[in-house]
Amino acid sequence: MENDAPPLVLVLAGAGYGQQAPLLWWTRSIAQAAGCEVVAPAWVVDDAAGADPVPFVEAAVHAALGDRLPDLVVAKSFGCAALPWALRHGVPGIWLTPVLTDGAVAAALAAATDAHVAIGGSDDPVWRPERVSGTAARLQTVDRVGHTLEVPGDWRASQRVQADVLAHVEQRVRASVR
């Protein structure tokens, strides 16, 4: 029975930040511990994909899910090119370091509802929250971190930052299980 299916969490990697990287590794662990099914497609970002990430990511999502829709998307950087797809399908998301210098990603986040959370670092050149002013999405800027959401030269502070980010993930995952 479809109603008995566990919630589905879609985890999307960055171009150079794979599924084994800390934020995505722990996202998978959090979702599985909550009883969710996790789909985490792998990809290799070539020049064509890098030049036009939205259709590349949407094709990868379709290949991984078919017509199924997840209950939640958690994406890092390049994977945030799924934002337009998520909005079209009413799928809430947590968007970690979205590339807001990409017009399609910025436009989607600007149109997002409060079902979306976007987190970026104050020292990340692609985290440009001013490009999405007026959005209903919840935006969080983490001070003194760059695109990896790590504090340069301080692994303990980096762990604390990432634990705070993962608390958002856990909260959203638990809400999707209810």
Output the average pLDDT for the chain.
96
Torsion angle in degrees (nearest 10) through CA of 104, 100, 93, 97 = 150
Residue pLDDT, tens place only, 102-126: 999 999 999 999 999 999 999 999 9
Locate 49 and state its tokens.
């994909």
Which residue, 81, 82, 83, 76, is CA-closest to 149?
A: 76
DSSP letter assigned to residue 15: S
Residues β-bridged to residue 8: 37
Looking at residues 47-57, what average pLDDT do you find?
96
**Tell me, what's the pLDDT at 61?**
98
Locate 32 and state its tokens.
């599985």
- pLDDT at residue 48 is higher than 90: yes
